[in-house]
Amino acid sequence: PNQNNPPLNKTTTMTQTEFYQAQENGSVDIGNSYGGTGVGENTTLTRDLFHQHGDIQVMQSWETPYMHQLAVALVAGVAKNAAVLMEAHGKITLLEIGFGLGLSATKMQEELQELVKEHGREKVEHHIIELNEEVFKKLLEFQAQEEKLGRATVVPHQGSWQDVVEDLKKANTTYSGILYDPFPTCKEEQHFHQLMFISDQSAGALLQKNGTFVYWNLTSLGVLLAENNADWKQVWEVAQKPYLGGREFEVLGKKYTIAGLTNSEYSLFEVTEDMKAKRAEQKCNYYGGDIHNHALVPVCVRK
């Protein structure tokens, strides 16, 4: 997952178990004192790892093929409705929540090339929100690199997604497609933060009619898979689809609903043996159990 949460309201010397702890089945238990991974304190950022506060794992390169698949799914969904979206809005605009190691962003730029060739890079925009200061520097480098390559226009936004989303809403900005990939900001959000994001009470208004929403929440889905006997269909039908279809849910006393995403489906991405080996090598503790042979690829289209 990418880190894109408000700053911690506590010191940065917390232990890993105070944030979250991997269980024997490979799922993750968010700690009661967890308060988000912060803006950049004690960041470890290499080509393969994005960790904070010592060894708090935010993103690792074993995820690369899966993150690429999420990017492919998003661009494919947008491309399917590109003519309608272009006619209505005059350009194709994607929003990505969290840059992290740039895994999905890089693939998204590659996948957008056909639309760039057809409409020109000034008509194809890729907006990215990133909170972490060290990662944001990498995002600015990525922006310059993509401009030199003549690919889709990268538009960086620095800050927490919560703050940036409010600014975008005030500006009446909307998007053809959105990819969401942050951590939860507290234990109570673990299974709901991607749904909270796309709700009518948060960023729902940013997604255009016929736009596509794709999300990632392994810190939740790993737990839900274990609780549902490794039955992905049950996880989807019970813990995802009803809320995408409009069922009300409540987190920390606030009620949320999602409108217009009844056209939602999923596919499964296979976690390959090579990915598993790299996952073990990187000591992943947020999706590392033997039960995790697949990962969810949800594709939701606004009608």
Distance between CA atoms of residues 78 and 177, nearest Å: 6
Spatial contact of 56 and 90, defined as CB atoms under 8 Å apart:
no
Does residue 195 surpass a pLDDT of 80?
Answer: yes
Distance between CA atoms of residues 204 and 31, nearest Å: 28
Residue 35 CA, chain-centre distance (Å), reads: 18
Q: How confident is the model at residue 5 (pLDDT cuts 50, 70, 90)?
A: very low
Spatial contact of 97 and 168, defined as CB atoms under 8 Å apart:
no
Q: Poorest-confidence range of 65-69, 133-137, 181-185, 294-298?
A: 181-185
Q: Poorest-confidence range of 85-99, 102-116, 175-189, 262-276?
A: 175-189
Q: Poorest-confidence range of 119-123, 174-178, 180-184?
A: 180-184
- The first and second tokens of residue 83, run together, are 């003519």
Helical H segments across the chain, by residue range: 16-19, 64-80, 82-89, 103-111, 113-119, 133-149, 161-170, 193-197, 218-227, 232-239, 241-244, 273-281
Distance between CA atoms of residues 27 and 285, nearest Å: 8
What was the pLDDT predicted at 217?
87
Q: Which of 6, 34, 10, 7 is nearest to 20 (CA)?
A: 34
Q: Longest C-alpha distance within the chain, in Å?
A: 52
* pLDDT, mean of residues 97-110: 94
What was the pLDDT predicted at 30?
63
Spatial contact of 68 and 105, defined as CB atoms under 8 Å apart:
no
What was the pLDDT predicted at 9?
33
Q: Poorest-confidence range of 76-90, 132-146, 216-230, 237-251?
A: 216-230
What's the mean pLDDT when you consider all of the chain? 87
Q: What is the pTM of this model?
A: 0.89
Q: How confident is the model at residue 175 (pLDDT cuts 50, 70, 90)?
A: very high
State the pairing for strand pair 207-215/294-301.
Answer: antiparallel
What was the pLDDT predicted at 22?
58
